Each structure stands twice: as C-alpha cells, then as structure tokens.
A and B are shown apart, each in its own frame.
Chain A
Amino acid sequence: MSVFWSLVQRDLLLALRRRTEVLTGLFFMVIVASLFPLAIGPEMDFLRRMAPGILWIGALLSSLLSLPRLFEADYLDGTLEQLVLLPSNLALNVGAKMTSHWLLSGLPLVVLAPLLGLQFDLSADLALSLMLTLLMGTPILTSLGAIGAALTLGVRGGSVLLSLLVLPLMTPVLVFGAGALEAQMGGLGIQAHLSLLLAMMLASVALSPLACAMAVRLSLE
C-alpha cells in the first residue's frame, strides 16, 4: 500500500513542478464553456436549459485532453518499464497513476464546474448536483480513458485515436450525468441517476486497473 501512495506522491510532485500542464486543461474547459454561448446565442433561458450538457461536455473534452499525458512521460524516459517490473501488483501501480491523474485533472473540474455554472445562471442546488455528478463521473473518465491511453502509447496520432476510442464508451456517463441535472430541472429526483453513476464508477474503478495493466504490458513489448 505504501508503494501506491508513494507513486501518487511522485506524480503529484512531478505535476507541481509543471503546473502549466495541469492548468491548461482547466482553462480549456473554461474556454469551451464560453464558446457555446458564442455559437448558440446569448439568450439566458436557452443557455440555462443547455447548461448541464455544455458543462458536462466541457469536462469530458478537458479530461480527454489530459489523458495522453497519463503514461506518456513515463513511457518516454523508461519509468513505465520500471513500474511494470516492480514487485507490487501492476494493477495497483496503474491504479496509483489513475488516482494521481484524477486528483490533478478530475477533481479540479469538479471544483471549477459550479463557478462556470454561474455563467449559465445555474442555481445553487443545480450546482451542487453538478458537483456530485462530476465527482462520480470524472473517475470513470479517468479509469476508462487510462485503458485507451495505455493502448495508444507511442502510436502515431495517438491522442485523436484515444478520443475516438474513449468517447463512445463515455456516452452512458454523459447520459446519466447531464441527465441527472435535466431531471432535477424538471422537478424529478436525481437519486436514480446518482445511483447508476455511482455503480458505474465503482465498477470501472475496480475493474479498469486490471485491463489497463494488461494494456500497459501489451504496449511495452
């Protein structure tokens, strides 16, 4: 277990030394959220209705941007091979990398989203629901995306390929995440959506390190 936390600590330390990489991902979400009103018009009623979808897509795209970086740096300087050679379970090690990635790119999105919601006149309880759904959705994005990132390691045009692979798998998360907010706007309860999101999160967090470990071994051969 100490290997897990020392790996997380290492990644966080490395990211702190290159703060720009983390922050650019966040600013990407800010820009995307601002692009939608520019494209579809400034009518507040319309934007208020579309806000959950826009913010969720912004979070999705921002996560996708940061996914290739999950293994790339370690792959290029040989640390990934050392990770595979560690006596601890590779699934655990990969899980540590997923955890640090989520802490760096998923968790800030959760905090940022309500602030962006202000641009769309999102009410306080909707903003809270947005945070909850993102809190459960972003780990799914990280864990499923990590499988794609491991498979496209070192492949030409890898980041676009990664998006193509990962986005269809993300549709349930998008449907339930944004759908929860739509349901709340319509006066229905969101417990069903949250339960499903939580179930998907637990399943993907538990199972994708195994698939990701296999993918990492595959890419290193």
Chain B
Amino acid sequence: MVMSIHWFYYAAPQNFFRLSARLWPWCAGLAGVLAVIGLWLGLVVAPIDAQQGEGYRIIFVHVPASWMSMVVYLAMGFWSVLGLTFKTRLSGMMTQALAPTGAIFAALSLWTGALWGKPMWGTWWVWDARLTSELILFFLYVGFIALTSAIDDVKRAERAGALISIVGCINVPIIYFSVKWWNTLHQGASVSLTQSPSMARLMLWAMLLMALSFWAYTVAIVFYRVRSLILQRERESQWLKRWFDQAQAPKANGI
C-alpha cells in the first residue's frame, strides 16, 4: 500500500502549481476568519489582566509571531534537507519562499516585544533571553536572504542557502540555551517577558487561534510565492506555456 503512493507527485512544479492554485485562497480565507475571531476574543472579550492592565493584549500578536518565526525556520531546514537529499527543484523554491515570511514574523515579534516592553519596564528593549535569541534568529534569516540573493546562479544559490539554513537549524538550540544561560547569570529584571501569570482559558484560546491564523497565512503566502517562483523559473517549459495560452483564451477550464 505504501509503495503505491507516489510520494514525489507534488515535487513536480506542474502538479504543485495546480494544487497550490486551489489551496492558497482557502488558506488565506481561513487565516482571515481565524484572525478575526482570535482578535475579537483577545482584544474585546478577554478580561483585563490583574498585573499588566490592558497592555498585555499585545501578546496575541507577539507570541504567535515568535512561534511562527521559529516554525518557519524549522520548515526551511526541513525543505533544505529534502532538497539536498533528493535534488528537487521545488524544495529550493519552498525554502526561498519561506524566508521572507519568517523574517517578517521575527521582525514583528521583536517590534511587538518592544511595544510591550515600553509600558511594562519603561524601556524599548530588554536583553531578555527570548528577545535576544529572537534577534539572533532574525539575523539568521537576514543572512540567508542576503546569501541567496548575492549568488546569481539559481541552483548554486539554493544549495548554498540550504546548507546555511541546515547549519543554522543545528545551531539554533545551542544559541537559545547559551543566551538563556547568559541572561540568567546577568539577570536584572525580576519578571520574565514570557512568565505570564496563569493564563485565563480565554486568553489561551485567543492566542491559539491567532497562532493558527498566522500558520494559515504562512501557508497561503508561501504557496503564492512559490507560484511566482515557478512562473519565473519554469517559463521555458511546455506546460507553463500552455497554461499561459489557456489563461489568455476566454474562460477555459480553470487550472
């Protein structure tokens, strides 16, 4: 039974192009719906926090953004391993497409962290362990994007990016723990950014919904980006030329 599954069916750009055309609008819609519900729960319904007042509500964006930045980095590592092992073109495109989204989430996490920090501790930045390791993650993303855009040859760029993202993935736990150690030794502030008081169920639900919404958004935007990359790189192939012709022709069966 397992052998009859064609594992690499969607590794062909043509098949993935068709799949992503159907999937991305639904994912975008799901992201929108979940975001509306999550934000309504978080901003309107959830109770005021005993210690932090209204300002804590930024966590409904901050925490899901941090989670997604880490998940996206792991996803990049996964596709890099796959791409280097099986030499599939699409894996490289997925890694390339994931990078900007991950970088944006990391930047958003840093920015919302600063926005949270100002009312809480009076400074725009604290060298908290998690914020600092998020900053280093942001640097890792920027490094990946810089490397892949500096190399002109597409294949070499993707494989170099794959290598650096795998090295980064291996190092991320080491970096995280070393920064955590660094922070606990120099600990000044007594309240950790993420050591929130026991969360009301409602707040947790709102955060989970926002995380799922960000996840759906990531899938939608990455699929869309991969479609753009396919259009760029496969423009000489027959199936894409036929698709263009069909798209020009009045209302053929939609691909």
Q: Which residues of B contact A151 (CB under 8 A)?
A: 147, 160, 163-164
Expressed in whole angstroms, the Cα–Cα distance for A183 and B186 within the complex equals 10
Say whether B185 faces chain A, with CB atoms less than 8 Å apart.
yes
In the complex formed, the residue of A with least CB distance to B178 is A172
Quick one: CB contact mask for B133-148 with A, threshold 8 Å, 1 for yes?
Answer: 0001001101100110
Assuming the contacts A157-B150, A175-B181, A176-B178, asked whether A165 and B164 have C-beta atoms less than 8 A apart, the reply is: yes
Say whether A219 faces chain B, with CB atoms less than 8 Å apart.
yes
Give the distance to chain B from A26, nearest Cβ to Cβ, in Å. Answer: 27
Q: Which residues of B contact A169 (CB under 8 A)?
A: 140, 167-168, 171, 175
Assuming the contacts A161-B146, A165-B143, A183-B185, asked whether A171 and B160 have C-beta atoms less than 8 A apart, the reply is: no
Expressed in whole angstroms, the Cα–Cα distance for A179 and B182 within the complex equals 7
Chain B interface SS verdict (over half): helix
Residue of A148, A172, A196, A218 near B159 (CB, 8 A) is A218
Give the distance to chain B from A154, nearest Cβ to Cβ, in Å. Answer: 9
Give the distance to chain B from A129, nearest Cβ to Cβ, in Å. Answer: 16
Say whether B58 faces chain A, with CB atoms less than 8 Å apart.
no
Q: Which residues of B contact A200 (CB under 8 A)?
A: 174
Say whether A211 faces chain B, with CB atoms less than 8 Å apart.
yes
Say whether A164 faces chain B, with CB atoms less than 8 Å apart.
yes
B150 touches A155 (CB 8 A): yes
The contact size tier of chain B is 20 to 34
Residue of B146, B155, B159, B185 near A164 (CB, 8 A) is B146
Give the distance to chain A from B163, nearest Cβ to Cβ, in Å. Answer: 6
Expressed in whole angstroms, the Cα–Cα distance for A211 and B185 within the complex equals 33
Chain A residues bordering chain B, tally (CB within 8 A): 30
Assuming the contacts A151-B160, A221-B156, asked whether A171 and B151 have C-beta atoms less than 8 A apart, the reply is: no
Give the distance to chain A from B161, nearest Cβ to Cβ, in Å. Answer: 9
In the complex formed, the residue of A with least CB distance to B176 is A172
In the complex formed, the residue of A with least CB distance to B186 is A182
A218 touches B146 (CB 8 A): no
A215 touches B140 (CB 8 A): no
In the complex formed, the residue of A with least CB distance to B155 is A221
A161 touches B160 (CB 8 A): no
**23 pairs, CB–CB < 8 Å, chain A vs chain B:** A147-B163, A147-B164, A151-B147, A152-B147, A155-B147, A155-B151, A157-B150, A164-B139, A165-B143, A168-B136, A168-B139, A168-B143, A168-B168, A169-B140, A171-B178, A172-B171, A172-B179, A175-B178, A176-B178, A183-B185, A211-B163, A218-B159, A218-B163
Besides A151-B147, A155-B151, A218-B159, 10 more A-B contacts (Cβ < 8 Å) are: A156-B150, A171-B175, A171-B178, A172-B174, A172-B175, A176-B178, A179-B181, A183-B185, A200-B174, A214-B163
Q: Hey, which bits of chain B sit against chain A, CB under 8 A?
A: 136, 139-140, 142-143, 146-147, 150-151, 155-156, 159-160, 163-164, 166-168, 171, 174-175, 177-179, 181-182, 185
